[in-house]
Amino acid sequence: MGTAVWVPGVTHSGLPPTHRLVALVLAAHADPATGRIAEDANPTLPELRERTGLALHDLHAVLRDLDRLGWIGREHTRQGETHRARYRLHLPRPVRGAPPYAGGRRETGRP
């Protein structure tokens, strides 16, 4: 699934504005054809904080919600003393206005 499907899904999702903002910033790091975020393109929390303007505790809460609701997947890794997250984009349910896809369950999209 490329970002051409994922971005309209996010924008028509009913997610709160802060959640859509973080999701769209993540999408900017993804390959448009596959929707995958390469390891060297994965944003750090400081980068996400700078690009979204959100406080770190708000950013943590939004990422947790996006993961719980099925919009992203996160894999936590450790490189020495540094903890990193690797993000994957998911489309958890059919979204009005977005092209159809197979799978997912219907949710309100609100945390």
pLDDT, tens digit, 9 for 90 and up, residues 28-74: 999 998 888 988 899 999 999 999 999 999 999 999 999 999 999 98
> What distance in Å separates the CA atoms of residue 34 and residue 73, rounded to the nearest whole number?
15
Q: Does pLDDT of 103 surpass 60?
A: no
For residue 72, the surrounding DSSP H or E stretch is: strand 72-79
Q: How many CB atoms lie within 10 A of CB 16?
A: 13
Between 94 and 46, name the one with better pLDDT: 46
Domains of the chain by start residue, with CATH? 3-89 (1.10.10.10)
**Surface-to-core class of residue 5, CB atoms within 10 Å of its CB (0-12 exposed, 13-18 middle, 19+ buried):** middle
**CA 21 to CA 90: how far, in whole Å?**
16
Q: Residue 108's pLDDT band (boundaries 50, 70, 90)?
A: very low
- 79, β-bridge pairs: 82
Q: What is the pTM of this model?
A: 0.78
